[in-house]
Amino acid sequence: MMRTRRQPRGATALPVQASSQSSQVLMATLGAPVVGGALILAFLLALAGCSDSGDPTGAPPIEMTPTATYAADVQPIWDAHCTSCHGAVASAGMDLRSTAGTAMLVGVASATYGGSRVAPGSPSTSVLYLKLQGDASTGDRMPLGGAALSAGELEKVRLWIVGGALDN
């Protein structure tokens, strides 16, 4: 680009004028690319800023409401802590194996305490949730004789009930 402009002018009879002229032309021509380059640089910096915020796609962050599903989040807790008693043996007439699904929990009256085992949307009135917390109104804490569920496990059960206690 620069060479093809200079060479024809340098070939004229007035090399000095030609060169000062061509440097003016050069400045004028370079003006646009320099401004453009600055814009591109600013754009790239902005992009880099975006990826710093942890979203490489540059998409706006989406507000996520934490949820829990029965099959993926809750059933594994029952499998690990409950089915030894609430399985084939079915203490309190309650089977918590995956084959039973939510049929023995949601909207089913407690065998011993007032209210439902699980009241959709309402952990604080669900006998199951109260028993996991060791609430005085619902007898022994579950799992009976074992360590209490972790805060993370309890939260999954709570989120599942809050989300409507779906068979999902």
Chain residues binding ligand HEC by CB under 6 A are: 81-82, 84-86, 91-92, 94, 110-113, 117, 127-128, 131-132, 139-140, 142-146, 149
Q: How far is the CB of 73 from ligand HEC (least distance, A)?
A: 13
Determine the Cα angle at 29 with ends 26 and 32, to 5°.
140
If the CB atoms of residues 9 and 97 are measured against ligand HEC, the closer one turns out to be 97
Q: How far is the CB of 108 from ligand HEC (least distance, A)?
A: 7
Query: Any idea how long the chain is?
Result: 168
- C-alpha–C-alpha distance, residues 155 and 163, integer Å: 12
Q: How far is the CB of 67 from ligand HEC (least distance, A)?
A: 20
Whether 107 and 119 have beta carbons less than 8 Å apart is answered as yes
If the CB atoms of residues 22 and 130 are measured against ligand HEC, the closer one turns out to be 130
If the CB atoms of residues 86 and 156 are measured against ligand HEC, the closer one turns out to be 86
If the CB atoms of residues 75 and 110 are measured against ligand HEC, the closer one turns out to be 110
Peptide bond before residue 143 is cis, with ω within 30 degrees of 0? yes
| Residue 98 CB contacts under 8 Å (≥ 6 apart), including other chains | 71, 75, 78, 79
